[in-house]
Amino acid sequence: MEDFLWIKNDEKRSMMQSLYKQAKEDRVPILLDEAAKVIDSWLLLLKPDRILEVGAAVGYSAIRMALVSPNSKIDTIEKDPERAREARSNIQQFELVGQIVLHEGDALELIPEMTEEYDLVFIDAAKGQYGRFFEDSIKRIRPGGVVICDNMLFHGFVEAEEVPKRYRTMIKKLKAFHETLRNHPDLETRILSIDDGISISVKRG
């Protein structure tokens, strides 16, 4: 269980604990604790000016990144209107409107329209679409920038011999995405077997 003791401000820590608890109770699939700490560490090292997140849900990971890295500007995309509404409200409550911009809509339509250059892209949306999110967002990452993807092992099914029928197409696409990362000429990638599997790719400078 995350305690958020790293948040020094008592009020913000208590708000974060409530947001986390509520998301778990509502079964919103937020970033798991160990993967979150890996991302915290990259933020602390990289000090990114600009972050793009694909898949905001209710804003937990975007708010967490904003608190860990207060000088980063974050664009986050969410296509589910109800979740986008909750994310917007949470961002307001944390007084992070100046730091996080929530874009409501389908990332597959929104990313190609974006013109900013990002230091870090965090992909955490529909797993079967990772290849497409990646192809769009890699163009927006500066040399030396980082792409982090969550759920890369998807409950162990990516490495399992037997995959339930309902997941087969998605796992096939996720496996193809592993190959894309592994063979990409501009990237150096590692996949960590923590939580649901997290990949870290650094774009060569």
Q: Which spans of this chain sit near ligand SAM (rule: CB under 6 A)? A: 29-31, 55-57, 60-61, 77-80, 83, 106-108, 124-126, 129
- Minimum CB distance to ligand SAM, residue 136 (Å): 10
Nearer Cβ to ligand SAM (57/202):
57
CA distance 86 to 57: 8
Q: Which residue has the tokens 């992070």?
A: 96
Are 83 and 17 contacting, i.e. CB atoms less than 8 angstroms apart?
A: no
Decide whether 119 or 136 has the Cβ nearer to ligand SAM: 136
Q: How many CB atoms lie within 10 A of CB 110?
A: 17
Q: Is the distance from CB of 76 to CB of 102 less than 8 angstroms?
A: yes
Least distance (Å) between residue 149 CB and ligand SAM: 11
Give min distance, CB of 78 to ligand SAM, in A. Answer: 5
DSSP string, 55-117: --TTSHHHHHHHHH-TT-EEEEEE--HHHHHHHHHHHHHTT-TTTEEEEES-HHHHGGG----
* Nearer to ligand SAM among residue 80 and residue 135 (C-beta): 80
State which residue, 137 or 201, has the beta carbon closest to ligand SAM. Answer: 137
**Toward ligand SAM, which CB reaches closer, 79 or 178?**
79
Nearer to ligand SAM, 176 or 186 (CB): 176
What is the crossing angle of helices 10-25 and 60-68, to 10°?
A: 160
At closest approach, how far in Å is the CB of 69 from ligand SAM? 15
Q: Rounded to whole angstroms, how far apart are CA atoms 199 and 178? A: 9
Q: Output the smallest distance, CB 68 to ligand SAM, in A.
A: 13
Closest CA to 105 of 118, 115, 114: 114
Q: How far is the CB of 159 from ligand SAM (least distance, A)?
A: 20
